[in-house]
Structures are given as structure tokens and as C-alpha cells.
Chains A and B, each alone.
Chain A
Amino acid sequence: MLKLIGVEAFYGKIKALHGVSLEVPDGKLVCILGANGAGKTTILKSISGVVEPEMGTIHFDGVRIDRLDPEKIVSLGISHVPENRHVFPELTVHENLVMGGFLVREKSLLKVRLEEVFDRFAIMRERKDQLAGTLSGGEQQMLAISRALMLKPKLLLLDEPSLGLAPLLVQEIFATIKNLHQSGVTILLVEQNVNQALRIADYGYVLTSGKIFLSGTYEELRREEKVREMYLGEGKYVRRARLWGS
């Protein structure tokens, strides 16, 4: 469904991606893991058109989408929920959702989509007329996801949805993502919460300084010593540290 080949992108003057190739098959939940500044967000931004890649190609459903404007890309069926939620703080929850459905022409269809979102996230119906800026972090994340769902995307890009949320809310967000995936949405997820993310993902890519370093299923990645050390808090160095009693 989505295919990146040799994508190189700059973030300002810094080269953030050094030839990234990855694939998201139809109906799968694919996860990109990596440390801060590894280039995860830049991958998502390149896909959604916020950042224009210098080299490489991105194909979605057979259509080449690098070089297209973000509003064109979203109309093809890719919705991007950016890092830090980026809801419209001075608009009400309802207005935020209507903006999510900006590309929906028919008013009746917009209403149907709104109802679907309200049925999925009851809290959104409750908060309908509240300004988005007054919501809690978890609610804002729900709103950001709901807003993206207004277009019924084929592919959902989620950037750090659990960032800065209380542990209980993190559970809830992951349950929501799993739920969405089961209802048939293809998802590309960027997360720092590696354990949780890998548990629900079909496939994972590990990114270090702008390059794909490893890839595989949860089981495959779990077996890699490096992944366990760096992200799962296990492995050689951790064991050695325990030996010294710290």
C-alpha cells in the first residue's frame, strides 16, 4: 500500500533521513522505533508532504506522492496525526472535527462521520462545545485521532500518540489504536514506548540516525540483543549492571 524507496530528507540544514526504504502492507500495523532525533517524525512528515524529500520516491496505492502538496496527499487517503496533537486550540471540539472533514463535500456524509466519531469516542460528544485548548492531554490526543478519522483514511500515520500522557491513558490510547487496526485501518505508528508498540504491531522498523537499522516482527526484534538493550531494558549490559548491584 505504502512504499518508501531511498528517501532522503533535510530538516532545515540537517540531513535527517539517509535513504530510508520501508513498506506498509494493506491492513497492517507497522511501527517505527528509534531514539529521539533518529528521524521518525521526518519519515511521517515526508509521507504526508509537510517535508519534501530531496531524493527517493514514495508510492501510495501505486501513485507517486512525494512532491505533492499535503492537502492533495490527505485527499488520497493518508491522514497524519502529528506529534504533540496539534488540535486547533481556539476552535471547539465540534469545529475541530468539522475541519477534520474539510474535504467531505456532502453535508449529510459529514454528519454521518461525526456520529461515527461520537460513537467511538463518547467523551468527544460530551465535550462537543468546549474549546479544544481546554481539554486534557489525553482528550486532545483522542480529538486529534478523531479529527483524522473524519476522512475515513486508508492509512493513518500516528506520531507519538502516547507522548506525555499518564500511564492509564497510555493504556487507553494503545487500546484505541489496536481497536482501529482491528476495524481495518492500516496504521503506521511512531513510538518511543517500544514495548507497548511492538506488542500491537505486525511489523517493526528500528531507525538509528536516519537509517533503517533493523526490521522484523515483534518476536524477531525481541530476539535481537541490540533491541533488547536499547529499547526493552534487557540484554548483556543490563545483566552486567545487575551483577554489580545497581
Chain B
Amino acid sequence: MTDMLGGLAQEVVSGIALGCIYALIALGFTLIYKATEVVNFAQGELMMVGAYVNFFIVTALLDIPMLDGALGFLLAFAGAVAFAFLFGTFLDLIINRPLKDEPVFSVIMATISMAIILRAVMALIAGPMTRLPLSPFGSGVIKVGGLFISVHDLFIISSAIVLVCGFYYFFNRTKWGIAMKATSEDPMAASLVGIPVKKVYRNVWIFSMVVATIGGVLLAPRTLLDTNMGFLGLKAFPAAVLGGFGSVPGAIVGGVIMGVIETVSMGTLSFYFPWVKEINDIVVWIVLIAVLMIRPAGILGREEIERV
């Protein structure tokens, strides 16, 4: 019995780590949706691009003797984030600006096209093979109580916590953060008080790209680096819905819950139903539908009341 509980706790910890990555991607979705009412279906691909950029830099740095360890990884991390800044600006320029006053549907189509293009371009650059980037922490495991936690999972969870706290501080305590919230609530009123709305939108895309990159860099050593890893981003979408679409805390809660359910159901049910290949996916979607039946707005979402 204790054995089984221990195994379950093990799965839960691993699930939280995976969930943190879902949470980061869902956060990217949510930020763009809140500010511009666009659902960015390329969010998973943005994560993939960020992970590849990080991988390329790490590989390039391997030849330099000083930089082949954790230091090199951190440098590459910084490089990937810098790239994310540029790429976010670029996305704002080619997707958000020209389509600003067009129907939301056109913008969504543009993000889907962007996802397909990014996947194809990355396959051209990186080649078709799947790679396994190594975690800078190796495959180390530490023992806490009766649990074995991989150092990389610990790194994922702590980075996610730091990032979320940073976001919380930014959105609630800084002038630019509050201005972003104000813009997403009422763009016209925001421009009337002098908030540069276009710049805010650009920053939202940059933010979302940076978060996706961090998610991708953290995820790659855990799964595999592959041009199709962006499909995993589609799981962040139900995570955001589960938490309450458009709610920032909801995205985080939804992401973590999703990760835990997925890992736990994988660890337990696949043992009993070995012939059902993707049992974890099935459970995830069943839970999503069940939650939405009870709380249509999601766990932390608020029901929109249209004012007349």
C-alpha cells in the first residue's frame, strides 16, 4: 500500500513539472488573448522555435572548452530569450499590426498558417532527425523524503515559480504591467490616457514569445527536440480552458492540473489498459469535459456578463 502511494506521489511530482510547462505555454496563450482577443494557435510552435534556438547555441558553444557545461547552457538560454525578443517584435509586425482591425477569424487563420510555416522552416534548417538535448544538470536525481526527484524537474518547477512570481509582480505593481492590463480591458480608454497601445501590443507578443521559449528550453531535455513538439502546445490550450480562459492564475492552475492528471493516468492506467496507447490523453479530455459541464467558465474563470 505504502508502495503504491509512494509511486503515486512520484507521479504527482513529475506531473507538476510537466504541468509547469503547460502552464507557461497556457500563460502565453492567455496574455495574447486577453490583450488582443486573438487565440494564437502558433504558441506551441513558438515554444519549438525557442527550444531549437537554445539547442543550436548550446551546440555551437560546445567547441569552446570553458562553455560546455552549465555556463554554456545559461548563455544559450540568454541567447534564446534575446532571440525571442526579436522574434516577438517580428510577429507583432507581420501578424498583429496588419490584421489589427480585421475580423478575429482572419488573425486566427494567420496564426495557424504561421504554425505550419514555422514547423516547415525549422524542419528545413534542423533536418528531420529527432534530437535529445541534454539537461545542463545531467540526469541527476535527489532524494527528498521517500521521493526521487530529477534535478531537471526541480529546475523546471523552480523556474516556473520564479517566472510566475515575476509576472505577478509585473502585472500588479509596475506601471507598465498595470498599463497592459488597462489596455486589455479597454484599449480606447487606454489610448485616451496616453498609454501607447501599439507598443503595449508589441510587448504582449514579445512576452508571450519569451514565455514560450523558456517553456521550450525547459521541456526539450525532458521529452525530445522535434519539429513536431509544438503539438504539445495544443495541450496547453485545454489547460487554459480548464483554468478559465483569459484568466492568468487560471492558466497556471489549469496547466499544473493537466500535467498531474496526464502523468498520473499514464503511470497507473496504462498498466491496466496496455492496449490503449494514449490513455493519458483520453483521461485529460474527459476531465476537461467534466469540469466544463460543472463550471462552464473554467475553474478560476468568471462568467462574462455582457453589459447592455
Binding site for B on A (CB under 8 A): 48-50, 69-71, 74-75, 79-80, 82, 86-91, 95, 98-100, 102-103, 147-148, 150-151
Would you call A50 and B191 a contact (CB within 8 A)?
yes
Some 20 contacts from A to B, beta carbons below 8 A apart, are A49-B191, A50-B191, A50-B192, A69-B191, A69-B196, A70-B192, A74-B192, A74-B194, A79-B193, A86-B186, A86-B189, A91-B182, A95-B178, A98-B175, A98-B178, A99-B178, A99-B179, A99-B193, A102-B179, A148-B193
Would you call B194 and A88 a contact (CB within 8 A)?
no
Tell yes or no: B134 within 8 A of A by CB. Answer: no
Binding site for A on B (CB under 8 A): 175, 178-179, 181-182, 185-186, 188-197
Bound form: Cα–Cα A151–B196 in Å = 15
Would you call A103 and B188 a contact (CB within 8 A)?
no
Assuming the contacts A71-B195, A74-B194, asked whether A91 and B181 have C-beta atoms less than 8 A apart, the reply is: yes
Closest 9 A-B residue pairs measured CB to CB? A86-B189, A70-B191, A103-B194, A74-B194, A71-B194, A88-B182, A88-B185, A80-B192, A99-B182
Bound form: Cα–Cα A95–B189 in Å = 14
Would you call B193 and A100 a contact (CB within 8 A)?
yes
Residues of A contacting B189 in the complex (Cβ-Cβ under 8 angstroms): 82, 86-88
Would you call B195 and A82 a contact (CB within 8 A)?
no
Would you call B178 and A86 a contact (CB within 8 A)?
no
Residues of A contacting B190 in the complex (Cβ-Cβ under 8 angstroms): 88, 99
Residues of A contacting B195 in the complex (Cβ-Cβ under 8 angstroms): 71, 99, 102
Would you call A88 and B181 a contact (CB within 8 A)?
yes
Instruction: Point out the residue from B182, B186, B196 that lies within 8 Å of A71, measured CB to CB.
Output: B196
Bound form: Cα–Cα A100–B192 in Å = 9
Residues of B contacting A70 in the complex (Cβ-Cβ under 8 angstroms): 191-192, 194
Bound form: Cα–Cα A151–B182 in Å = 17
Instruction: Point out the residue from B175, B181, B182, B188 that lies within 8 Å of A82, measured CB to CB.
Output: B188
Would you call B194 and A90 a contact (CB within 8 A)?
no
Assuming A50-B188, A88-B182, A151-B194, what are 5 further A-B pairs, CB within 8 angstroms?
A71-B196, A74-B193, A99-B195, A102-B175, A150-B193
Instruction: Point out the residue from A69, A87, A89, A91 that lies within 8 Å of B178, measured CB to CB.
Output: A91
Residues of B contacting A50 in the complex (Cβ-Cβ under 8 angstroms): 188, 191-192
Bound form: Cα–Cα A182–B178 in Å = 33
A86 CB → nearest B CB, Å: 4
Residues of B contacting A74 in the complex (Cβ-Cβ under 8 angstroms): 191-194
Residues of A contacting B185 in the complex (Cβ-Cβ under 8 angstroms): 88-91
B102 CB → nearest A CB, Å: 14
Bound form: Cα–Cα A100–B179 in Å = 10
Bound form: Cα–Cα A74–B192 in Å = 7
Residues of A contacting B193 in the complex (Cβ-Cβ under 8 angstroms): 74, 79, 99-100, 102-103, 147-148, 150-151
Q: Which of B188, B190, B191 has the most CB of A within 10 A?
A: B191
Bound form: Cα–Cα A48–B192 in Å = 7
Residues of A contacting B196 in the complex (Cβ-Cβ under 8 angstroms): 69, 71
Residues of B contacting A49 in the complex (Cβ-Cβ under 8 angstroms): 191
Residues of B contacting A75 in the complex (Cβ-Cβ under 8 angstroms): 194
Residue of B nearest to A132 (CB): B185
Residues of B contacting A82 in the complex (Cβ-Cβ under 8 angstroms): 188-189, 192
Bound form: Cα–Cα A122–B190 in Å = 24
Bound form: Cα–Cα A240–B182 in Å = 53
Residues of B contacting A99 in the complex (Cβ-Cβ under 8 angstroms): 178-179, 182, 190, 193, 195
Bound form: Cα–Cα A175–B88 in Å = 49
Bound form: Cα–Cα A88–B193 in Å = 11
Bound form: Cα–Cα A214–B39 in Å = 49
Q: Which of B182, B190, B196 has the most CB of A within 10 A?
A: B182
Residues of B contacting A71 in the complex (Cβ-Cβ under 8 angstroms): 191, 194-197
A76 CB → nearest B CB, Å: 10
Q: Which of A48, A49, A102, A148 has the most CB of B within 10 A?
A: A102
Residues of A contacting B186 in the complex (Cβ-Cβ under 8 angstroms): 86, 88
Residue of B nearest to A97 (CB): B193
Residues of B contacting A86 in the complex (Cβ-Cβ under 8 angstroms): 186, 188-189, 192
Residue of B nearest to A45 (CB): B188
A46 CB → nearest B CB, Å: 13
Residues of B contacting A103 in the complex (Cβ-Cβ under 8 angstroms): 193-194
Bound form: Cα–Cα A71–B193 in Å = 7
B183 CB → nearest A CB, Å: 9
Bound form: Cα–Cα A79–B182 in Å = 17
Bound form: Cα–Cα A67–B181 in Å = 27
Residues of A contacting B192 in the complex (Cβ-Cβ under 8 angstroms): 48, 50, 70, 74, 79-80, 82, 86
Bound form: Cα–Cα A88–B189 in Å = 8
Bound form: Cα–Cα A95–B177 in Å = 11
Bound form: Cα–Cα A75–B195 in Å = 10
